[in-house]
């Protein structure tokens, strides 16, 4: 007569244990073998990337495609320098969301760049005092006279 005896340790050895391919510790329905952070349900390969300083979609890039471009406003006139920019989720101090400043060392420079001139006329903008005077523009005297006559209707 044969008597088989099992002890608990032997029965545990024979019981299948979940392997890494069947574990989902954070409950995001993505297995740990493909989830780059199985402790955070908001992080997995199918997650949408958001601006939060972490890699939400497991592609080894942080905040890619969701950051805004900001331009340095060195002179504080609300216009940014196209040559000095950075990408960030939030607006950094001293930066603006435009690159419209062609002289970021002076807050009194005109709101257009020399390349915006057509002949003797600026292609956009009118000075606040409607004097026709634009600081720093070559041929400024001619512009002042032309704008003054044109804006005031004088012959």
- Do 127 and 97 share a structural domain? no
pLDDT at residue number 22: 64
Task: Report yes or no on 120 lying in a domain.
Answer: yes
Q: Are residues 82 and 121 in the same domain?
A: no
Please report the pLDDT score of residue 121 as a whole number.
46
pLDDT at 72: 94
Say how many domains are in the chain: 3
Q: Which domain holds residue 88?
A: 67-105
Is residue 123, in this structure, part of any structural domain at all? yes
Q: What pLDDT, in 10s, does the model give residues 59-91?
A: 999 999 999 999 999 989 888 998 999 999 999
| 8 Å CB contact between 145 and 132 | yes
pLDDT reported for residue 131: 52
Residue 73 confidence (pLDDT): 93
Whether residue 96 lies inside any domain: the answer is yes
User: How far is C-alpha 8 from the chain's CA centre?
Assistant: 59
What is the full DSSP assignment across 13-53?
HHS----GGG--TTSSS--TTT-S-TT-TT-STTSPP-SSS
Q: Is residue 5 part of a domain?
A: no
Residues of the chain with pLDDT under 50: 118-128, 135-136, 138-142, 147-148, 150, 152-155
pTM score, two decimals?
0.51
């Amino acid at each position: 007569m044969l008597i088989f005896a099992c002890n608990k340790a032997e029965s545990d050895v024979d019981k299948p244990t979940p392997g890494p391919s069947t574990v989902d510790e954070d409950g995001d329905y993505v297995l740990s073998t493909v989830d780059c952070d199985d402790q955070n349900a908001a992080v997995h390969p199918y997650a949408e990337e958001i601006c939060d300083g972490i890699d939400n979609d497991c592609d080894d890039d942080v905040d890619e495609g969701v950051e805004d471009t900001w331009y340095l406003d060195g002179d504080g006139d609300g216009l940014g320098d196209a040559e000095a920019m950075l990408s960030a989720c939030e607006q950094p101090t001293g930066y603006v969301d435009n690159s419209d400043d062609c002289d970021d060392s002076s807050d009194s420079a005109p709101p257009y760049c020399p390349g915006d001139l057509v002949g003797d006329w600026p292609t956009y903008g009118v000075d606040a005092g409607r004097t026709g005077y634009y600081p720093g523009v070559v041929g400024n005297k001619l512009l002042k006279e032309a704008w003054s006559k044109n804006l005031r209707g004088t012959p």
